[in-house]
Amino acid sequence: MIQLHNVFLSYQKDATALNNISLRIAKGEFVFLTGPSGAGKTTLLRLLYGALTPTSGQVLVDGQNVSRMTPSQIPFLRRSIGVVFQDFKLLQNRTVFENVAITLEVLGWGRADIGKKVMHILKQMGIASKVNLTPQRLSGGEQQRVALARALVNDPKILLADEPTGNLDDSNKEQILSIFKDANARGTTVVVATHDRRLIENSHKRLVSLIKGDIVEQVDPKEEDSCKSA
């Protein structure tokens, strides 16, 4: 589903944000990207949804070569990718409903179907009662759930989330993790960038650790389990 081959990314000369990264993420996998600030987590996610082009190397997402896409092709790629940004990027002058509906409007859905689907996901996320409020009137955890609803409302093939539990309390973190796990169980490939060790440890999912643009460690609990039982 996602492949990076020898990817280098420099924002400026002599400052390499990603240094010869090769990585495969299979369809239906759930992967955490971790590492200290500046490790390259956000940069890697941005490559996957075509917000950045690698300086060299190849990025393949859902069978498409993102490294070679023209700007006009990127919106089509993004139809199959839900993105949750570090700062949510909610539209402040729109209601919760409108913030989530926008994903389906872009895809050309009809009004009645949009209404049903948006209300369905807001109920799943436990924020249906906030449907007519604007984001300023929501807590941080509620805003995060709106951002997740917007990213997941069209059942995307891939969900990318950047530091989705920053500033959330433990109960909100648990809710967010269970939303990711549900989406993953329905077939969405999930990639989450996070510093949050507790979130990672509680989830028993594959972990890719970056430091200064290098992959320094990969841990896959499934392989560890099969080693233990072998």
Ligand X SMILES: Nc1ncnc2c1ncn2[C@@H]1O[C@H](COP(=O)(O)OP(=O)(O)OP(=O)(O)O)[C@@H](O)[C@H]1O
Q: Which is nearer to ligand X, 39 or 118 (CB)?
A: 39
**Interface positions, 103-122, toward ligand X (CB under 6 A):** none
In terms of Cβ atoms closer than 10 Å to its own Cβ (0-12, 13-18, 19+), residue 24 is: exposed
How near is the Cβ of 42 to ligand X at its closest, in Å? Answer: 3
How near is the Cβ of 190 to ligand X at its closest, in Å? Answer: 17
For β-strands 2-12 and 56-61, DSSP reports them as: antiparallel
How far apart (Å, rounded) are the C-alpha atoms in residues 9 and 203? 30
Does the footprint of ligand X cover residue 141 (CB under 6 A)? no
Beta bridge partners of 219: 207
**Interface positions, 9-68, toward ligand X (CB under 6 A):** 11-12, 17, 35, 37-43
* Neighbouring residues of 155: CB distance < 8 A, sequence distance ≥ 6: 186, 187, 188
Q: Which is nearer to ligand X, 39 or 114 (CB)?
A: 39
Helix ranges, 61-110 (H): 74-78, 96-106
Q: Which is nearer to ligand X, 17 or 147 (CB)?
A: 17
Q: Which is nearer to ligand X, 33 or 138 (CB)?
A: 33
How near is the Cβ of 65 to ligand X at its closest, in Å? Answer: 22
Question: 84 with 162: CB under 8 angstroms?
Answer: yes
User: Interface with ligand X by CB under 6 A: which residues?
Assistant: 11-12, 17, 35, 37-43
